[in-house]
Amino acid sequence: MNGTGLYDNLEKYQLPTPESVFTLDYFKEKPQPFCDLAKELLPGKYVPTLTHCFIRLLEEKGLLLRLFTQNIDGLERVCGISPELLVEAHGSFANAHCVECRQQHDVLRWRDCIERNELPRCPATRMLPEPPPKPTEAEMEEVKKELETLPALRAEAWKTTDFTELTNIGLKEANLKSKLADMEKWAAEADAKHEEWEKGPKTFQCGGLIKPDIVFFGEGLPARFTYLAERDGRSCDLLLVLGTSLKVMPFAGLLGKVPALCPRLLINREAVGLHNQEDPPLFFGNIGFRFDEAENYRDVHIADDCDAGILG
């Protein structure tokens, strides 16, 4: 990004890293930076490019098997590409949900909130679960007896210098002691907590943060991506790779889903996704592009912007 880039607007928040704004844990702790950035990414601020229109034309001609996109701006939808042919691997601003209870919410309400500089909170009513039962004396005694067996097991392990077994015994002892401490603590508190629950309200307002259905770092990609990547890859007769750094897995792994004889065309300023590249990700191996290799028989690189490359 240059001096007028989106991330420069977030300098006042002193983010640990620029990517922190798209990290779920950071969002839950400090949601305002993402909400500020989201204002600049909202659908309606940008229009589809010539490349978007080209992909739409492929669909109209019956040539588009599937469009897998990392974009979250929704311009593929604006361009009119059919939703059933579109896989938004990193999500989009088309829907929103609560990060606590997962309830879906009207994305327009979420948008109104952030445009008013308000944090969008979930108004859903949730049930207050009954506290877990009080542990019995017999249950705690069982844990104590299991702890009492460990010294003899440890002594036997020392005789044979079985360090793997000694490590396992140590871990088991730590887990049992922690479990017993938790049981004893809850046994002392359980009666009061149950009484408090019986007398108090059984529901509460969620109040969780609402975020659009875009994939943050650490979140899994939609199941639809995994399923269709495998199924469509086997049927692909031409793979077009347009304007991507191919640095994010598993999206970049789509290169290896197509048949070995399937031609692959990259339109991008730089050659990326090379089989022998030294920069991350280093997972390409045999699936990577071989543009300048003597054994190349299917990979072509047009070193240009997407729109210019489409025009040829």
CA atoms within 13 A on the CB side of 114: 22
How far apart (Å, rounded) are the C-alpha atoms in residues 22 and 20? Answer: 5
How far apart (Å, rounded) are the C-alpha atoms in residues 179 and 171? Answer: 12
Which residue from 99, 104, 67 is spatially nearest to 86, judged by alpha carbons? 67
Q: Is 253 exposed, middle or buried (0-12, 13-18, 19+ CB in 10 A)?
A: middle
H/E element, 227: helix 223-235
- Residue 122 assigned as binding residue: yes
- Residue 35 assigned as binding residue: no
How far apart (Å, rounded) are the C-alpha atoms in residues 296 and 138? Answer: 70
How far apart (Å, rounded) are the C-alpha atoms in residues 173 and 150? Answer: 7
3-class state of residue 156 by DSSP: helix
CB 268 within 8 Å of CB 242: yes
Task: Provide the annotated active-site residues.
Answer: 90
- Residue 101 assigned as binding residue: yes
- Residue 79 assigned as binding residue: no
**Annotated binding residues:** 98, 101, 122, 206
User: Residues at the annotated binding site for Zn(2+)?
Assistant: 98, 101, 122, 206
